[in-house]
Structures are given as C-alpha cells and as structure tokens.
Chain A
Amino acid sequence: MLVDYLQRGVVAGAIAGLLYGVYMAVVANPLIEYMETVSHHAGEHDHGHAADPAHAHAVSEATTEVVSVGSGVLWGIFLGGLFALTFYFLEPALPGTERVSAYVLAGAGFLTVSVTPWLVLPPATPGAEQSLGPNPRLVIYAGLMVLGAVVAATAILGYERTTARTGSRYYGLVVAGAPVVATVAIVPTLTPTITTAGAMPAELVTTFRGLTVLSQAAVWAIVAGSFSWLTDHVESTDGTAALEDDHPVAA
C-alpha cells in the first residue's frame, strides 16, 4: 500500500518536475543569466565582485542550463516522493476529503520546505551578499523547516479541534490561519537580515522572488493535484494495479 502511494507520488512528482523543468528552461535560466550580467556589471564599478573566484563558473553556461533543467525535474520527483510517503502516514490525521487533504499536505509542505526558511533566508538573487557562510545558513534553514512543520501541524490541529468543538468550518479556518499569519508577520521582524541583494535593481529582485515563490507553490499544487488525479484514475480502472497495467509489454 505504501508502495502504491510512493508510485503515485513519484509519477505526480515527475509531472510537476517536468513542468518545473520547462519553467527552468523558458523563464528561470534566461532570467538568472540576465541577472548575473547585471550583477557582474554592477560589480565592476563596485568592488570587483566579478573577479571573485568563488563566483567564477567551473562549467559552461550550456551545461548549467541543461543540468539546472534536469535538477528541476529531479526536484519534482523528490518532493513528489516525500509528499507521498508523508501522505501515506498522515492521511488519517489530515482534515477534509481525500482531495482536500492532499492539498492541505502540499500547503504544509510548501510552508515547511520553502516559506518558513525564506522568512529569514529569502531566495537569493544572483550576486546577492550573504552575511553568514553556507554552513550556518544550512543549520538556520533546517531549524526554520522544523519551525515550519510545527506551525503547519499547529494550524491543522487547531482547525480540527475548533471544528469539532464549534461545528463551524469558518472558525476552524480562522484558528488554522492564525499561527501561519503570525509566523509570516513576526519572524522576519525578529531576525537580522542575512541576505542582501547587492546592486540589483529592487524591481528585479521583487520579480525574481515573486517568481520563485509562485513557481515553488505551483510545484506543490501540481504534485497534490496529479496525486489526487492518479488516485482517482487508479480507483476508476482496476483496483490498485492500474499503474502496473499501463506497461503490459514490459519484461
């Protein structure tokens, strides 16, 4: 049964990953390369950022583009697999129908993996300056993921308790929203700024961050949507074996 979930999760993740790979190829690759040139031009007038060996590229632009698209696909598969494993275990504890609970878990995943860490470590633009090295930032990122998971769990438990007590879904949603809104509003004000965008125009930074947030949200939404679709598809065809039946000529 867990293997069925994982199968669906990997397929859903591959769908999301392929779409994210197309986004990488069509939007993110050209945008990031453009921002690199902007930051290098600024660096020449500023403090020689372009000559910094840490920022010199060890591989060609074409390799970076191809590997980045491939990484995008892998990222989808990775999140889809993690989503399915978590969904298998936590599904009984999630509110809503099967379809709704998949989106609830995807939202919790997005909050945990991306949104909460970004409150302190926002998506770095090319040429961004970081006041801490990679290792302390990895620790901070991991700590914030734990915080994100706790906030998501608090929101879901709050929703379930409140709806059970008051019988009102509306109150449940308010109680569920409170810890999320509070975290998003308060955490950035309590923590020091670690990432600064350097000489990048502010509009470009905002566009880049907006695209990053929306594209990651889309990955999670597509994973949940595809997973539900596959669940229905599996049920409507032949029990749990529909995915294996898709490959009658294999082996």
Chain B
Amino acid sequence: MTVTNDTVHDRIETARTDLTPMQLAAILVFAAAIGFTLLFLQEPIAHDAMHNFRHGAGITCH
C-alpha cells in the first residue's frame, strides 16, 4: 500500500487526476455489464439458466 495518512477527499482527487476517461469508462462498463447480467436480465432463457444461482445467492425474482 502507498500513502496511508490521506483522506477520502485526497483519494477522490487522486482518482480524478490519475485515471484517463477511457479507464474510468472501462471500469464503469465492466461493473454495469456484470451487474446487469446477474441482477436485471429478464430474458427468459438467460434468466432461467441462472435460476439456481439466484436462489443460492438470495436474489430471486420470480
């Protein structure tokens, strides 16, 4: 780990200066893609195929 005596505000500033818009977009798109697939995809075939997982993880919709 690097600096430990910084604040939440410092971290936000560091992220803002360090990240390129492309990196930021990649991070957000990646998280959105997995989240959407696992939680909100209601297409019956995909939804049904994840059936046991959704029961097992306690996030069942039907």
Those of A84-134 within 8 Å (CB) of chain B? 85, 88-93, 98, 114, 118, 122-126, 128, 130, 134
What chain A residues lie within 8 Å of B34 (beta carbons)? 74, 77-78, 81
A216 and B58 contact, Cβ closer than 8 Å, known pairs A68-B49, A89-B12: yes
B9 shortest CB reach to chain A, Å: 9
* Nearest A residue (CB) for B19: A2
* Nearest B residue (CB) for A239: B2
Which of A3, A58, A125 is within 8 Å of B55, CB to CB? Answer: A125
A2 and B51 contact, Cβ closer than 8 Å, known pairs A74-B34, A215-B56: no
Which of B31, B51, B54, B61 is within 8 Å of A137, CB to CB? Answer: B61
Q: How large is the interface on B (under 10, 10 to 19, 20 to 34, 35 or more residues)?
A: 35 or more
Main secondary structure of the interface of A (DSSP, over half): helix
Separation of A215 and B52 alpha carbons in the complex (Å): 14
What chain B residues lie within 8 Å of A90 (beta carbons)? 8
How many pairs, one residue from A and one from B, have CB atoms within 8 Å of each other in the complex? 131
Assess whether B56 is in contact with A68, with CB atoms less than 8 Å apart.
Answer: yes
Separation of A141 and B14 alpha carbons in the complex (Å): 33
Which of B18, B23, B42, B58 is within 8 Å of A212, CB to CB? Answer: B58
Number of interface residues of A (CB under 8 A): 57
24 contacts between A and B (CB under 8 A): A1-B15, A1-B18, A3-B23, A24-B52, A28-B56, A29-B56, A59-B49, A64-B50, A67-B50, A68-B52, A72-B56, A78-B38, A81-B30, A89-B8, A89-B11, A90-B8, A93-B7, A93-B8, A98-B4, A118-B58, A123-B58, A130-B62, A134-B61, A212-B58
